[in-house]
Amino acid sequence: MKRLSNLAGNVVRDPTAQTLLLAAGILALVAVCRPQEKSGLPIDVFWYEKVHFRQSADCVLGGDSRIMCGASPAVIADALPGFRVKNFAFSGCGYSPDYLNQLRDVLHPSSSQPIIVLGVSPGSLTRMAVERKSGFSAEMARRSQPRPRPSWLADAIQNRLRPIPLRQIAGFLRDPWTKTGYFQEHHADGWIASQRVPRSPTLTVPWYRQHFRENQVCPAVLADLLTATREWSSGGIRVYAVRMPISAELKAVEDELAGFDEAAFVARFEAAGGRWLPLNQDGYVTGDGSHLERESAVRFSQWLAEVIREDLQTDSLFTQRLPASRMRLNAPVDAAENVPISRR
């Protein structure tokens, strides 16, 4: 016992040991005090469930992370009673033939009023987006894997001990009582509600400026999307598209460098049978310039649902679903088998 006590004393007096003990103490303190940035479903379970959204919806939302974070199926379903709504968008996703087929496959074959909503961004129409091995391609590999066992403890530990960005450390030193970070809540319907504290509406602008100097809208990718739209529309599916709200600074970069002619796209999209949804982007708040914050995502989802609802009012199949008390449109909010897609 005395020998153990002497050993402990020597360790405590050793400068290297003191440094290691201090570092361990700081790490433990940070882990305990650090706010949980990930909540909702465990991440592995969320992605596993999402890639298994097959033949399960009447309305499916598709695209990249802008609509993944920007549109809540639950909010939309609240305004479209009887509709099963899923968010099948993925980070960095491009409109490849494979993705378009999988998106179509989320719709239930017996749906009487199938709807596809496309979140259109210049980035989703680039060759780089459809060839990217992360995002959609990586997550789809989960289909061949067993269902992960949820481990809330392991998820929490991973959350607290992952690397901390320097700007977050600086924010903590300036104001230790304010939670900072990028907070995400994963929902079973495929939506990721996000919030960045503090907001940084120009955060992604430099990245996109560099990205679009090397990656513009690809005519072949655009042609695949229009072909899918034409095939879906002719098969009785209503296809809507909307350009997701982003910061004015980022939109200016996209309009200048991405090679995206919105007016020309709208004309071709509607000629293919789609319905473009013009959106007043004023008043929507993004955390990083590219992704809507939670409250704005809810507001956008309410707007999207009401626009679709209004469009469907002339459809007897839809009006038969509505309770009599909900036949009148609400006031505007403030602010099957796969279809083969031709490859190019």
Pairing of β 181-186 and β 115-120: unpaired
pLDDT at position 332 is: 34
Residue 118 is inside which H or E element, if any? strand 115-120
Residue 136 burial by Cβ neighbours in a 10 Å radius (0-12, 13-18, 19+): buried
Residues 117 and 243 in one domain: yes
Q: Where are the beta strands (DSSP E) in 257-298?
A: 275-276
- Cβ contact 95:221 at 8 Å: yes
Given a cut of 60, whether residue 282 has pLDDT beyond it is: yes
Residue 340 lies in a domain: no
Q: How far apart are CA 336 and CA 327, in angstroms?
A: 29
Domain containing residue 5: 1-33
Q: List pLDDT tens digits, range 140-170.
A: 988 888 888 766 555 555 555 555 555 555 5
Residues 23 and 129 in one domain: no
Residues 11 and 53 in one domain: no
Residue 184 lies in a domain: yes
pLDDT at position 147 is: 83
Residues 22 and 66 in one domain: no
Residues 202 and 313 in one domain: yes
For residue 240, the cross-strand partners are 117, 275
| Largest interatomic CA distance in the chain | 88
Of 218 and 197, the one with more pLDDT? 218
Given a cut of 60, whether residue 327 has pLDDT beyond it is: no
Residue 344 lies in a domain: no
What is the pLDDT averaged over residues 192-214?
A: 94
Please, what is the average pLDDT of the chain? Answer: 82
* Domains of the chain: total: 2
pLDDT at position 120 is: 97
Residue 337 lies in a domain: no
- Cβ contact 50:190 at 8 Å: yes
Residue 134 burial by Cβ neighbours in a 10 Å radius (0-12, 13-18, 19+): exposed
Residue 332 burial by Cβ neighbours in a 10 Å radius (0-12, 13-18, 19+): exposed
Residues 8 and 103 in one domain: no
Phi/psi of residue 68, each to 5°?
Answer: -60, -40
Residue 63 lies in a domain: yes
Triad 49, 89, 213: Cα angle to 5°: 140
Q: List pLDDT tens digits, range 292-301.
A: 999 999 999 9
Residues 211 and 230 in one domain: yes
Residues 204 and 240 in one domain: yes
Structure token digits, residue 338: 């796969």
Structure token digits, residue 268: 């071709």
Residues 1 and 91 in one domain: no
Residue 79 lies in a domain: yes
At residue 186, the 3 state secondary structure works out as strand
Residue 160 lies in a domain: yes
Residues 172 and 59 in one domain: yes
Given a cut of 50, whether residue 102 has pLDDT beyond it is: yes
Given a cut of 60, whether residue 66 has pLDDT beyond it is: yes
- Cβ contact 125:119 at 8 Å: no
Residues 6 and 154 in one domain: no
Residue 152 lies in a domain: yes
CATH of the domain at 112: 3.40.50.1110
Picking from 61-70, 129-138, 140-149, 237-246, which range would have the lowest pLDDT averaged per residue? 140-149
Given a cut of 90, whether residue 113 has pLDDT beyond it is: yes
Residues 15 and 116 in one domain: no
Q: How far apart are CA 298 and CA 283, in angstroms?
A: 13
